[in-house]
Each structure stands twice: as C-alpha cells, then as structure tokens.
Amino acid sequence: MARLFTTTCAGIMHQIILTTLNARYSHSAIGLRYLYANLGELTDSAVLLEFTNNDRVTEICEQLLAHSPRIIGIGVYIWNVSQVGQLVQLLKKVAPQVIVVLGGPEVTHLPHRVDLSSADHHIRGEAEHAFRILCKRLLSGATNIPQVIDAGPVDPNSLVSPYHLYTDSDIAHRVIYVEASRGCPFSCEFCLSSLERGVRRFALDGFLSELDQLWQRGARQFKFIDRTFNLGLKSVTTILDFFLARQPPYFLHFEVVPDHLPEALRSRLQRFSPGTIQLEVGIQTLQPHTAAVIRRRLNIDAIEKNLRFLDQETAVHMHVDLIIGLPGERLEEFADNLNRLVHITSSEIQLGILKKLSGTRINRHDREFGMIYSDEPPYEILASDLIPFALMQEMKRFARFWDLVYNSGNFTSTAVLLWPDQDVFTGFRRFAAWVYRQTTATWQISLNRLAELLFDYLVNDCGNPAKEVANSLAADLLRIPGRVLPASIRTHVTRLPTTTRSVPAGLGKRQKKRLYQAPSSSRTPAT
Ligand code: SF4
C-alpha cells in the first residue's frame, strides 16, 4: 500500500483529500499538485494522497477514510478509470456522507464507458479553480450544486504553480513533470488535445524561475508534458538555453511534432550531451490518404529530413510513434510506414494500437471503415473492415515482440538478421508468429530466453550459420557489463566482444542500451 505523499502528519483529520492512482510509483501526479496548490485558504484543510494501480481498492478506501474527510477529489485517467469506478462505488457504500468529486480526462469527455455515476460531482475541464470554488460551497453547506460542473480551460497565468509540492523524495526518486504550455494547434482526430483551440503558455520568466528552484533542490529528470514542445520558438530556445548552461548529468523529455525543426532549434539540440534529451516524435502514419482521413498534418519531406538530422547529427534519444489500425489504413500501408521509418532512423519505434478516446472525433469513421473498439479501457481497436480481429490480435503481439526485441536495444545487431531482404515488417512478422507458437505468451519472457529463441529461429528456421548468430548475440548481450550468455549459445561463439563503452551516469535503462549499441550503420544489413 502506498501513501506516497502527505502534507501533514499521519493521523490528522483532513476535510479534503486529493487522490489518484498513478500507473507506477515513479510517476508523480502533477494534476493533483495543481489542484492542491490552487486551494487557497483551504490548503491547510487538505491532504494529497497518491496510490498506484497495484494497490487494492479496499485498502485505498480504508486509507482515505482514516482521514475522516468530508470531500474526496479523485483524478481519473485512462490507466485508472476501472479502479476509480470500483473505488467510488465502495466509498459511497461504506461512507455515503463523504462527498466524492471526480475530475480528469476520463470524466471530462463523454461517453463514460466505466460507470462513474455514483460520484456526487463531476468537474469537466481544467479543475484548478473549479475544485476550490466547489469545495468552498460544499464546506459552507450549499446543497443546490449540480452534479456536473463545466470548468473549461483556465488561463495558465492565473494558476499558483505546483512545483514546490514535489517533495525531496519525489525529486530523488520520481519523474518530475513540468509544463510550459497547454493545448495544441493541430487537429488529429484520435487525440484529446485536438479538442482545444490553440496553445496557452505559462509566463516564461516565472516558469524558468520554477525550473531553477527545482534544479537547486537537486531535480535532474524533467518530463515536459507540453503536447507540442517545439512550437513557440522563443519559449523553446530559452528553455533549452537554461539547460545548456547547466552541467550534465540530467535528463529532459519533450514531445515534438516531426516537421518543425528550425535552425535555432537544430543548433541547440546539437549541443546537448548523449543521454540528456529524449524526444517523443509522433509520426503515426506516412500515408497521405490516412493522414487526410484523420486530419493530421503530414509533410513527409520535412519529417524525413528532420529525423535524419536528429539521428545523424545530434545525440538526442528518440522515440518515434506509429499507430496500428487507423481508419482507412491497410496492413500493407502500416508495413510500408514501418519499413520506411526503420531505414530513416535507428531510434525506437513505438507501435501503438489505435484507441477511441471519449470526446475525440475519430468515432466519425466508425461506420465507413467498420471500426470496432473495446468498451474496456484503454478502448483499443479490435477490428476494422481492413484489419479483421484475428489480424489485429496478431499485430498486437507483433507490437509487443517488437518492443522486446527492437525497442529494448538488447538485440541491435541480431535483429537485422530477421529481415535479410530489408523487408522489416515481413521478416519481423514471421519471427513474431514463430515466437508466439513457441511460447503462447507475450509477457514474462526473460532476456536469456529471448536470446535462445532468436538463436533457435535464426539458425534452425532461417538456416543462418550457428557461429554467425551466436557471435551476433554475444556482441549484443555482452555489451552490457555483467551479463552472461546462455550456455546453448555460448558453445557456438567464436568471437567475443572485446570492449564495452562507458556511458554517462543518470540514464534510463533503454538509453543506456542504445548508447552501448553498435553504430547505426550496422543496423541495416549490407545489400
Ligand atoms: S497528436 Fe500531437 S499534433 Fe496531433 S493534436 Fe494531438 S498533440 Fe497535437
């Protein structure tokens, strides 16, 4: 059971509890901290309690009620909505006098596919001010308050910043989320951010001062939650300059659009040390007709040019994203997206399954393209006219094995043996189907077991020389000090790697592996 953060001593009663379930311990709930920071004079009556998805709902309920609260505010997201639905029902059964207020994206947008109706109030929109006003009215005894409160977007500069609420323990052990802007100017139909109009920015001086205070307190891992960080050149360059003036190690994560990389940004990105910057680059599709269907801007020439630049001329670590199951996109077209990306960049390519988020306009294609989605979070596509259920299931396994083999960075030399003719999709699809026949599992496959499977497949199914595959696996696995090759592979090794590279401190596991990996030119087999 994880009571991760309280602002006062345990055992003291609090009139207001702010709580949520994070997807994992290392995530810190910036939304709760915003609500808490903006409670005004009610702050002293409130406590902030964070749990994770692994905690049991009954025990969360018990911990919440131990504070004898009058109001419990819960942040509801796609990763916790099922548990929150159970929690609300339990709270209203055992403590019906407690007023339960829900907010967050899963409450803001309709339809609610998890039953949240037993909560007393739903705040739809950005709740920082609305929650304070609601609490004041409730605590003063007001009764004529509607269940649904529409909050709408807030002016970022009307908010009290939440960053002082990160504890020293948060700073030492968890990702520190920060934001310099809210909203996105684009209109991709699968995305909640497309529902907002324009971008709202926090005043830059104040934001930099907050960053500096976090830095002084020892924060070195910053995840920017801005949806399109690389828009707004003055803000972006100033923030990058803030970090360039500081000594690594540190780690920054930004989400960026792929077709906008002006020179002022390029020249700065080139100056960051390896392991300091990670960019999440949404590609989603390279098919013009799919992009048109989902109203996503697509400038393929700029994307290709910028990815090559980032890959070859900076030390930036990239995740590029593709989506499986977009309306109107055939499997052959998804295969083309993947093949092209692998040959443009050596970065991780995250394969996401299309989700139908409530409130988004992706549902307008349901009939035309026979789109069928799960009603369970995270509301993934199950089938479409172009990709039937069995094929979609196969693609979900493909994505999982792709993550284990390709994105993990564990098999950078060996993975390319899976597509000797450079048709990445076909080669990897055949391997993924073979692995699934062997294991009937996509989880809990250890690194050594995966190495043995790769060896077996490449030697016995594809006819590669055992010596060649074993040497390749040795080169991949033994790059990380302390690893031991499985005996069944070791007996075939004729060449052990002689050196391991040193990497900067403070990096994530995958980044370390990517820095240890062979140069990107070795990732495409010779023709
Ligand atoms: S997918 Fe990215 S670019 Fe498109 S609307 Fe969402 S945040 Fe904006």
Mean predicted confidence (pLDDT) in 373-391: 98
Cβ-proximal residues to 130 (8 Å cutoff; 6+ apart), any chain: 123, 149, 151
Judged by phi (left if over 0) then psi (alpha if -120 to 50, else beta), residue 34 lies in: alpha
Could you give the 3-state DSSP secondary structure of residue 526?
A: coil
Tens-place pLDDT, residues 500-526 = 555 555 555 665 555 545 433 333 322
Cβ-proximal residues to 387 (8 Å cutoff; 6+ apart), any chain: 324, 325, 330, 331, 381, 395
227 touches ligand 1 (CB under 6 Å): yes
- For ligand 1, pick from 196, 228, 260 the residue to mutate: most ligand atoms within 8 Å of CB: 228
Distance (Å, whole) CA 317 – CA 503: 14
Tens-place pLDDT, residues 402-444 = 999 999 999 999 999 999 999 999 999 999 999 999 999 888 8
Residue-level pLDDT at 196 = 85
- For ligand 1, pick from 190, 193, 361 the residue to mutate: most ligand atoms within 8 Å of CB: 193
CB 46 within 8 A of CB 36: yes
- For ligand 1, pick from 181, 184, 200, 257 the residue to mutate: most ligand atoms within 8 Å of CB: 184
Could you give the 3-state DSSP secondary structure of residue 479?
A: coil
282 touches ligand 1 (CB under 6 Å): yes
Instruction: Identify the DSSP state of 99.
Output: E
Predicted confidence band of residue 152 (pLDDT cuts 50, 70, 90): confident
**What tokens appear for 272 in the block?**
């960051």
Predicted confidence band of residue 201 (pLDDT cuts 50, 70, 90): very high
Mean predicted confidence (pLDDT) in 348-371: 97
Tens-place pLDDT, residues 384-412 = 999 999 999 999 999 999 999 999 999 99
- For ligand 1, pick from 190, 192, 194, 196 the residue to mutate: most ligand atoms within 8 Å of CB: 194
CB 288 within 8 A of CB 298: yes
Closest CA to 416 of 524, 317, 288, 300: 524
191 touches ligand 1 (CB under 6 Å): yes
Of 155-169, 261-275, 509-523, the one with minimum mean pLDDT is: 509-523
Instruction: Tell whether the model's pLDDT for residue 129 goes beyond 70.
Output: yes
424 touches ligand 1 (CB under 6 Å): no
Percent of the chain clearing pLDDT 90 (strictly above): 88
The pTM is what? 0.91
Could you give the 3-state DSSP secondary structure of residue 74?
A: strand
Residue-level pLDDT at 444 = 85
Distance (Å, whole) CA 5 – CA 2: 9
Beta sheet of 251-256, edge-to-edge order: 176-178, 221-224, 251-256, 277-284, 317-324, 348-353
Q: H or E stretch including 50?
A: strand 46-52
What mean pLDDT is reported for the chain?
Answer: 92
Distance (Å, whole) CA 277 – CA 260: 17
CB 16 within 8 A of CB 163: no
Tally of helices (H runs) and strands (E runs) in the chain: 19, 16
Tens-place pLDDT, residues 434-490 = 999 999 988 889 999 999 999 999 999 999 999 999 999 999 999 888 899 999 999
Distance (Å, whole) CA 88 – CA 108: 16
Mean predicted confidence (pLDDT) in 194-213: 95
Tell me the CA–centroid distance for residue 124 and ligand 1, in Å: 21
377 touches ligand 1 (CB under 6 Å): no
Tell me the CA–centroid distance for residue 260 and ligand 1, in Å: 13
Tens-place pLDDT, residues 285-326 = 999 999 999 999 999 999 999 999 999 999 999 999 999 999
283 touches ligand 1 (CB under 6 Å): no
228 touches ligand 1 (CB under 6 Å): yes
Helices marked H in 121-193: 128-139, 168-173
Strand 181-182 relative to strand 121-125: parallel, antiparallel, unpaired? unpaired
257 touches ligand 1 (CB under 6 Å): yes
Please state the atom number of ligand 1 nearest to the C-alpha of residue 191: 6
347 touches ligand 1 (CB under 6 Å): no
Tell me the CA–centroid distance for residue 193 and ligand 1, in Å: 6
Predicted confidence band of residue 11 (pLDDT cuts 50, 70, 90): low
Residue located nearest, by CA, to atom 3 of ligand 1: 186
- For ligand 1, pick from 188, 224, 297 the residue to mutate: most ligand atoms within 8 Å of CB: 188
Residue-level pLDDT at 503 = 52
Q: H or E stretch including 279?
A: strand 277-284
181 touches ligand 1 (CB under 6 Å): no
**What tokens appear for 385 in the block?**
């006219």
Tens-place pLDDT, residues 42-54 = 999 999 999 999 9
Residue-level pLDDT at 2 = 40
Distance (Å, whole) CA 92 – CA 96: 4
